Amino acid sequence: MITMITQENAPLTVRKYFAAGNPGPIAQTLAHTPETLNVSLPFIGQVLGASSISFRIKEIVILRTSYLLACKYCVNTHTVVALKAGLSDDEVQALRGENPVSAFSDEKEQALIQWTDVVALGPQPILDSHRSQVLAHFSEPEVVELTLLIGATVMLNRYASALNLPVSGAHQEILSAKGLVY
C-alpha cells in the first residue's frame, strides 16, 4: 500500500489542499510528489468538477467509465457522488452494468452513454457515425469536454486500481445502507 500523506505531513506547497482536512486518497497519494499534485489536482478539478456541463451529465460519464475500467474505488466513490447529482438508484445500477441502460429514457443521455462506451473501452476505432451521434445531442465544446472527461477518468481509474486506494468510511456507510456496495 502507498502511504497516505496526512495534513500533518503535507508538503508546504500543497498544504492548501489539506486546509479543510485530508482531501482523499487521490490527493493524499499524489502529495508524495508535490510538484505533480500542484498541476494534476487543478486539472482534475477542472475536468471532473463544476463547469458549463451539468453535474448529472458529468457523473454519468465518470460512473460509466469507472465501471467499464472496473475501478472498484471509483465506482464506489462515484456511486455516492452520482446519487448526490440526482441519479436514481436504477440509473446508477444501469451505469454499473447491473440494470439495462434503458433505465435512461432521455435520448441525449443514451447517446452519451454510447459515446462513453466506445471512447473508454477501446481499442476499436471510433467511427464518424459515433461522432455524428454524439454531436447530434451535444455541441462541439461539450463533446470536447466530455471526451477529455472520459480520458481523465480512465487515467484515474487505472491510478486508483493500481494503488488499491481505499473507499472512505463515510462512503462505505452510505453504500452499505443503500445496498450499493460495488
Partner 1 sequence: MSLPSRITYAIDQGKLSGRLWLYSNYHCNLACRYCLTESAPSSPKRQLSLDSMMDVVHQARELGFRAIGVTGGEPFMLPYIEEFLLQATQILPVTVLTNGTLFHQRRLDKLSLLKEHDFRLQISLDSHNPVFNDTMRGPNNFARVVEAIPKLLALGIRVRVATTLTNQSESEIHDVQHFVKKLGVPEEDHLIRKTVQRGRAVTEELGVKAPLEHLVPELTITAEGAFWSPFSPTYIDGRLQSDLLLSRTIAPLSVASKILLDFMQSLEGVVPQDSDELEGFV
Summarize as ranges the residues that interact with partner 1 (CB under 8 A): 3, 5, 8-13, 31-36
Torsion of CA 177, 66, 62, 149, to 10 degrees: 160
Cβ proximity to partner 1: between 3 and 88 the closer is 3
Three-state SS sequence of 27-68: HHHHCCCHHHHHHHHHHHHHHHCCCCCCHHHHHHHHHHHHHH
Closest CB to partner 1 among residues 43, 136 = 43
Min dist CB 2 to partner 1, Å, is 13
- DSSP-assigned letters across all residues of 140-178: HHHHHHHHHHHHHHHHHHHHHHHTTPPPPHHHHHHHHHT
Residue 160 beta carbon to partner 1: minimum distance, rounded to whole angstroms: 21
Distance in Å, CB of 17 to partner 1, minimum: 14
Q: Decide whether 14 or 60 has the Cβ nearer to partner 1.
A: 14
Q: Which is nearer to partner 1, 26 or 154 (CB)?
A: 26
Report the distance separating Cα 30 and Cα 10, nearest Å. 11
Of 65, 45, 47, 56, the closest CA to residue 85 belongs to: 56
Query: Is the Cβ of residue 34 or residue 151 nearer to partner 1 in the bound state?
Result: 34
Cβ atoms of 17 and 6 closer than 8 Å:
no
130 vs 135: CA distance, rounded Å: 9
Find the shortest distance in angstroms from Cβ 42 to partner 1: 14
Closest separation in Å from C-beta 35 to partner 1: 4
